[in-house]
Structure 1
Amino acid sequence: MSKQEIEVLLPPEVAYDEFARYRALLAAAGLEPGAADFVHLRKRSIDARGRQPLVRLRADIWLTPPPADTFGPWFQYADVSRARRSVIIVGAGPAGLFAALRCIELGLKPIVLERGKDVRTRRRDLAALNKEHVVNPDSNYCFGEGGAGTYSDGKLYTRATKRGDIQRILRLLVQHGATPDILVDAHPHIGTNKLPSVVAALRDTIRAAGGEVRFDTRVDDLILAQNHLRGVVTAAGKALEADAVILATGHSARDIYELLHRRGVRIEAKPFALGVRVEHPQQLIDQAQYRLQDRGPLPAASYALVHQTQWQGRQRGVFSFCMCPGGFIVPAATAPGEVVVNGMSPSRRDSRFANSGIVTAIELEDMDLAQHGELAGLRLQQQLEQRACALAGHTQRAPAQRLGDFLKGTVSSELLETSYQPGLVSVDMERVLGPGLAERLRQGFRDFGRKIPGYVTNAAQIVGVESRTSAPVRIPRDRDTLEHPEIKGLFPCGEGAGFAGGIVSAAMDGERCAEAVLALF
C-alpha cells in the first residue's frame, strides 16, 4: 500500500473539470498521468480572499490499490421485527429517522409516528399551500416525512463536531442515495429536489429491518403513570405503549409544547431568533463575493454575516441564517392565519435569486415571561406571524419591502419580481416587526452593506417573517442519560427539544438518544 496526501489551490476551470483536476493533482504530486492507481478527493472548498477565487483541494493519491474498506463500510441492519424491546419515536425528521436506524443497529424495534404524510403525497399539500394558500396543519413545509429539511434545502454543514460522528451521518446519506460530493465539499448540500428520495430510502431501510413508520399519526396525549412515560395516544384515540419514547417532533410542533405544559411535564423558555428573509439577484451576490462578472464553473456564491447591535441599552446580534444561494423563498406556515417564510435551494442552486434569513437574537428578557411563562417565546412568534398574515391580506401572500426603502422608512411603491410563489404585498415592515426588531435589523443591514459591496440596494427586498429559526422552548434532559429529569422513559431529542440546529446535528442527536435508551436496559 502506498499513498500520498496532497493539498493544492487550483483555478475553478481546472478544479471543476474531472480530467483537468486529475492531471493537476498528479502533477502536484510529481507524477505522470496514469502513474496512480486511484485518486480520492477528500475535501473541496473555495478560497475567494485573493484577487481571483481559487479552489482548495485535499486528495489522497494511491499508487497501489487502496484497501477494500477505505471508503466504507456500508451499514447493515439485522431484522428487529421480533425484538424484545421497542421504542416509540415521535417525528420522522432527521432526528427521528436516524434514531430509528440506530435503534435497529442496537437491537431495538423503532416505531416511528409521523403526523404528516410520506414525501410523495406531501407534495400535493405543498402545491395547495403555494397556489391556493391552503394550510394543512399536519402536512406542510414543516410537517411530514423528513421534517422541515426535506423541502427547505438539505444543508448538511454543522459546527457540532463534538456531538457525534459527522462522517458516519454523511456516509449513511450517501448509502441512501445522496451524492458522494457531500463527503468532499466544505459546505455539503443535497438539495431539496434530491432529498425526498433519500428520505424515502431511509424509511424503506427502517421498514425492511422490521421497524415501523406510520404516517398520518399525530400524537395528542401521553400515557403517564407515576412520572413514567409508558407510551402515547394518537389523534385517532389509539394507545401505543413501548419501553421508551424519543420525542423528536421538530421546533414547529407547537401542540406538543402545549401538551407537555398541560400535562405538567417541565419545559423551559429559551432564546431563539426572529427576522426576515432578504432576497437579492444571485448575480449581484456572485459579483460581490467572487469579484467576477461571470462566475463560470464556480457554484452560486453564498455569505455569512453577523453584527452586534445596540437598542435601548440592550446588545443583540443580527446574523444571516440558512443562506440559500440560487434558491427560493417558501411559505412555512403550520396553521391558518399566520405567514412564515423559509428558504430552500435545489441541488444545482440555479435560481436567479439568492435569499437568506436575516434575524436578531431574542433573549429571555425580550419575552413576556410574566404573562406567558415557559411559552413566552412561542407566543411572540405567533404574534408576529399573525400580524404578518393580517397586514398582507389574510392569505399566504407575504408582507415585503425593498431593502433600501426599509432602511429609509419608506413604503415601497412597487415590489420586485420574487421567487416566493404565493406573492408579496408592499407593507411597512416595521408595522410587522415592531420598532425594536426593525431598528436592530436596520443596524445589521447597514453593517452588511459595508462588508459586501452593493448589498444594501433597492434591487433587493425583505420578506417576512422568518420566525422558525430554532425552538423557542427547551424540553430539559439529564446531561448524561439524555432522559427528562422528572419523567422516566422520555428522551427529548433534536431541534424541537432545543438540542440541535440542522439536519446533521439533529441526526447525531437522534443516534445519541437511541444509545441512551439502550443504556436503560
Structure 2
Amino acid sequence: MANDPDAIVAGIAGKTGLPVEEVRYYQIERRSIDARGRRVVVQLRIRVSDQPLPTPSDLKSQLQPVFDAPEVLIVGAGPAGYFAALELIELGLRPVIFERGQDVRSRRKALRAIQQFGIVNPHSNYCFGEGGAGTYSDGKLYTRSHKRGNIAKILRWLVEHGAHPDILVDAHPHIGSNQLPRMVSRLRETIESFGGTVHFGAHVTDLAIDAGQLRGIHWGEGQFHAGHALILASGHSARDVFEMLCRHALALEFKPFTLGVRIEHPQALIDEIQYKQSPRSPYLPASSYALSCQLGDKGVFSFCMCPGGLVVPAATSPGEIVVNGMSLSRRDSAYANAGTVVSIDEQDLDAPVAGNPFAGVDFQARVERSMFDAGDGSQKAPAQRLVDFMAGKLSPDLPESSYIPGLYAAPLHQLLPGFVYQSLRRAIPQFEQKMRGYTTREAVVIGTESRTSSPIRIPRHAESLMHPDLTGLFPCGEGAGYAGGIVSAAMDGQRVARAVARHLHQP
C-alpha cells in the first residue's frame, strides 16, 4: 500500500469518510514500519487538502555569491564543516575549508589500500577525507537531537544534491555509501560556485595566536592562511588536533565515550527474527534492530546498526585495528552488523582524568594496539563466534564475514578490557530475550569498535560557542564533542556558523 497511489487514496477515503473522487491532493509526511507482534505494519501520516499543496522553494536558489565577503576558516570537510559552509554563504560570509584528506573520488584509492593491502594512510581513510566518516557508513539520517536545529533543512539540502525525496518522509532515512560520495561532491560544487574554497591534502599543523586572538592557521608544507574566525570541525579521530590545542595550553576536557565490538549476523536471520518471515517479503527493507540495557551504572547498547551491510577497517594510523560498519543504498549484503558498545566513564580508566583530558584517548589507543599486536601485522581483525565469546573460549573456526581484510580467531574475551568484556557478556543474554535467536553460532564478534564518539570535549561558551581561551576559535561537531552522527553534526555546523556571523558582525 505504501507505494500504491490508488491504495493510499482508498485508505484516505476510508479514514476521512470522503468519497474517493474527492481525495484530490495529499502529501505523505511520515512513513514507518512497525514489526512488533506477528505482522508487519506500514504506517503513513498523510496531509490531505482540497487545494494543491505548496512545495518549498529550493534552498540553493536563495544563496548569493560571497566571493568578496569576509572569510571564515573551516577545518574539516565532513557534515559539520560543509553544512557550516552552506550556512555561512547564506549569511553573506565566505568559507575557506581545509581538509587533511583527499576529495571523495580520490579517497577511494586510500580505502582500497587499507581494504586490500592493509596500508593505512593517516590523512585519508574511512575517517578522514571529504565527507568525513559518514560518507562511508550506512548514511543514517536519523537523530534524536530535534531541538538542536532544523533537521528538515539538512534533508532538503541533501535532496537538492541528489538524495531520494523519500528521506524527507521516512522515519529512519538513510542514503547509503554508494550514493553519499556523489552528493558530497555536489555539495562542494555548490559551495565553490558561490565563492567558497576547499583545499584538499591541507593538514592543519598549528594555530597562529596573538594576545588571545586567533590570527590564522599553518597548514601543509609551511603554508599560512590568515583569519580571525575558525570553525574547528576535524572529527572524532583527529588526535593530533587535540595535541595541537594542548600545545597552546587551550582547555580540553575528558568526555565519557563507548568502546566494544562489532557483531555480525546473517541478514536473513535478523529478517526472520524481526519480521517473522523467511525469506522476507520483497516489499520490505532489510530489517534492523536497536538494543540496549542498563547494568547498574553501565550502559550497553547497539550502535550504527547496518542492515544488509559490511564491516570495514577504520584505523587512522598504522599499528591499530578499528572496525566500523557501512551499507549501500540497497542494503543488499547477506550480512547485518552493529557496533555493540559499553559506556566508559572516568572511574573506568587506569589513569586519573583530573588534569589529564587525554585519559580516554590513551585508553582507546591501548585497546586498538592490543588488537593489532595480537594479529599478523595486517588489517585482519580478531574475532570469535558469539557463542564462544560468551563462553570465554577460542573459536576453532569462524563463519563467513563481509570484512574484506579477513578475520582470525582470537580470544577477544582476553584482549578487551575486563570490565568491557564482562559488561557485554552480561548484556547479550538480555538482547537474546528481546530478539530470540540473536545468540547463534552464525554470529561473529569482531574487535574493536572504538570510534563511536570523541573521548575529548573541546569546551565552548554556551552562548557565543567560542572557546573560552581563544577569541575566534569555534569548536564544532563530533570531534569537539557536540554531535553524534551525520545530521546532528550538520546541525551543529549550521548553529556554529550563525554564532560566527554574530561574532564578526559585532561593532
Which whole-Å CA distance do the structure 1 matches of 2:328 and 2:11 have between them? 30
Distance 1:395 1:348 in 2: 30
Task: Tell me which amino acid in the other structure corresponds to 1:79.
Answer: P
Aligned equivalent of 2:345, options 358, 363, 370: 363
Q: Quick one: which of 230, 248, 251 aligns to 2:215?
A: 230
1:79 paired to 2:68: no
Q: Which of the numbers 414, 436, 450 marks the counterpart of 1:453?
A: 436
Counterpart position of 2:44? 57
Aligned-partner Cα distance in 2 for 1:256–1:278:
31
SS at structure 2 position matched to 1:476:
coil
- State whether structure 2 residue 154 is matched by structure 1 residue 165: no
The residue number in structure 1 matching 2:320 is 338
Give the Cα–Cα distance (whole angstroms) in 2 for the partners of residues 415 and 262 of structure 1. 46
Partner residue of 1:299? Answer: 285
The answer to whether 1:252 aligns with 2:237 is: yes
CA distance in 2, matches of 1:21, 1:128: 48
SS in structure 1 at match of 2:352: helix
- 1:367 Cα shift? 2.0
Q: Out of 468, 475, 491, which is 1:492 matched to? A: 475
The unaligned stretches of length 5 or more in structure 2 are: none
Q: Separation in 2 of the partners of 1:162 and 1:309?
A: 29
Select which of 244, 248, 254 maps to 1:269.
254
Which residue does the alignment assign to 1:477? Answer: 460
SS of corresponding position for 2:230: strand
In structure 1, the gaps of 5 or more residues are 1-13
Runs of at least 4 residues of structure 1 off by over 6 A? none
Render the CA deviation track for 1:191-250: whole Å, top value 9, x for unaligned: 111111111111000000001011110100000111111211002111111130000000
Counterpart check, 1:440 vs 2:427: no
With 288-297 and 16-25 compared, the bigger mean Cα shift is at 16-25
Please give the alpha-carbon distance, in whole angstroms, between the structure 2 residues aligned to 1:121 and 1:432.
Answer: 35
RMSD: 1.4
Q: Name the CA shift for 1:56/1:106 in 2 (closer, same or farther; >3 Å).
A: same
Q: Residue type matched to 1:465 in 2?
A: T
| Pair 1:95 & 2:80 matched | yes
Report the 3-state secondary structure (helix = DSSP H, G, I; strand = E; otherwise coil) of the residue aligned with 1:495. Answer: coil
**Residue type of the alignment partner of 2:433:** R
Structure 1 Cα separation of the partners of residues 9 and 119 of structure 2 = 51
Q: Deviations over 1:27-76 (max 9, x none)?
A: 44444555443331110011122321101101122332223xx3444332
In 1, the alpha carbon distance for the partners of 2:244 and 2:351 equals 19
Amino acid at match of 1:77: L
> How far apart in 1 are the matches of 2:21 and 2:311?
47
Task: Write the distance in 1 (CA, Å) between the matches of 2:333 and 2:18.
Answer: 40
- Whichever residue aligns with residue 481 of structure 2, its letter is G
Equivalent residue runs for 1:101-120 within 5 Å: 101-120=86-105
2 CA distance for matches of 1:387 and 1:94?
Answer: 31
Query: Which 10-residue stretch deviates more, 292-301 or 476-485?
Result: 292-301
Q: Which stretch shows the higher mean deviation, 373-382 or 235-244?
A: 235-244
Which 10-residue stretch deviates more, 469-478 or 359-368?
359-368
Q: Could you say if the C-alpha distance between residues 191 and 87 of structure 1 is closer, same or farther in structure 2, counting changes exceeding 3 Å?
A: same
Kept after mapping to 1: 8 A contact 2:75/2:231: yes
Quick check: 1:267–1:474 contact (8 Å CA) kept in 2? yes
Task: Indicate conservation of the 8 Å contact 1:36/1:64, yes or no.
Answer: no
Residue of structure 2 aligned with 1:194, choices 154, 179, 191: 179
Cα distance in 2, alignment partners of residues 275 and 18 from structure 1: 45
Offset, 1:18 = 4.8
- CA distance in 2 between counterparts of 1:324 and 1:470 reads 17
1:142 & 1:35 partners in 2: Cα distance?
52
Inter-partner Cα distance in structure 2 for 1:19 and 1:325:
30
Give per-residue Cα distances to partners, 1:416-453, cap 9 Å, x unaligned.
00011100010010222022211111111111011110
Q: How far off its partner does 1:352 sit?
A: 0.9
- Partner of 1:281 in structure 2? 266
Deviation at 1:276, TM superposition (A): 0.2
Q: Which amino acid aligns with 1:455?
A: Y
Shift in Å at residue 265 of structure 1?
A: 1.1
Shift of 1:366: 1.4
SS at match of 2:265: strand
The one-letter code sitting in structure 2 at the alignment partner of 1:48 is A
Query: What secondary structure does 1:15 align onto?
Result: coil
Paired residue type of 1:382: A
2:362 is equivalent to residue 379 of structure 1 = yes
Q: Could you list the per-position Cα deviations for residues 366-390 of structure 1 after superposition, in whole angstroms to 9, with x for gaps in the alignment?
A: 1234388110100111101111111
Distance in 2 between residues matched to 1:49 and 1:438, nearest whole Å: 30
Shift of 1:262: 1.7
Q: Provide the C-alpha distance between the structure 2 equivalents of 1:50 and 1:39, rounded to a whole number of angstroms.
A: 30
Match in the other structure for 1:3: none
Residue 201 of structure 2 corresponds to residue 216 of structure 1: yes
- Measured against aligned partners, the alpha-carbon deviations of 1:483-521 in whole angstroms (never above 9, x if no partner) come to 001110000000000000111110010011111011112
For 1:487, give the aligned amino acid.
L
Partner Cα distance (2:7, 2:327) in 1:
28
Counterparts of 2:350 and 2:223, CA distance in 1: 37
Match of 1:462 among 433, 445, 451: 445
Instruction: Give distance in 2, aligned partners of 1:299 and 1:367.
Output: 41
Equivalent position of 1:9 in the other structure:
none
> Within 1, Cα distance between the matches of 2:82 and 2:23?
40
Contact (CA 8 Å) 2:12, 2:23: kept in 1 or not? no
Distance 1:411 1:381 in 2: 24
Indicate conservation of the 8 Å contact 1:92/1:145, yes or no. yes
Determine the C-alpha separation between the residues in 2 that align with 1:461 and 1:19.
Answer: 44
Determine the C-alpha separation between the residues in 2 that align with 1:401 and 1:261: 39
Answer yes or no: is 1:308 the counterpart of 2:294. Answer: yes
Question: Which residue type is aligned with residue 78 of structure 1?
Answer: Q
Q: C-alpha distance in 1, partners of 2:7/2:59?
A: 30
State the alpha-carbon separation in 2 of the partners of residues 398 and 493 from structure 1.
32
Match of 2:307 in 1: 325
Deviates more, 1:163-172 or 1:35-44: 35-44
**SS of equivalent to 1:519:** helix
| Contact 1:109–1:210 (Cα < 8 Å) also in 2 | yes
1:410 aligned residue: 393
Matched with 1:508 is 491
Q: Please say if residues 338 and 385 of structure 1, whose CA atoms lie closer than 8 Å, have aligned partners that are also in contact.
A: yes
| TM-aligned CA deviation for residue 25 of structure 1 | 3.5
Instruction: Flag the 1:71–1:432 CA change in 2: closer, same or farther, 3 A.
Output: same
Partner of 2:502: 519
Single out whichever of 461-470 and 51-60 deviates more from structure 2.
Answer: 51-60
Q: Secondary structure at the match of 2:299?
A: strand
- SS of 1:370's partner is coil
Deviations 1:134-169 (A, max 9, x none): 111111000000000001121010011111111111
Give the partner amino acid of 1:331: P
Q: Secondary structure of the residue that 2:177 maps to in structure 1?
A: coil
C-alpha separation in 2, matches of 1:374 and 1:346: 37
Cα displacement string for residues 276-310 of structure 1 (whole angstroms, at most 9, x for unaligned residues): 00000111111111122232111111111111225
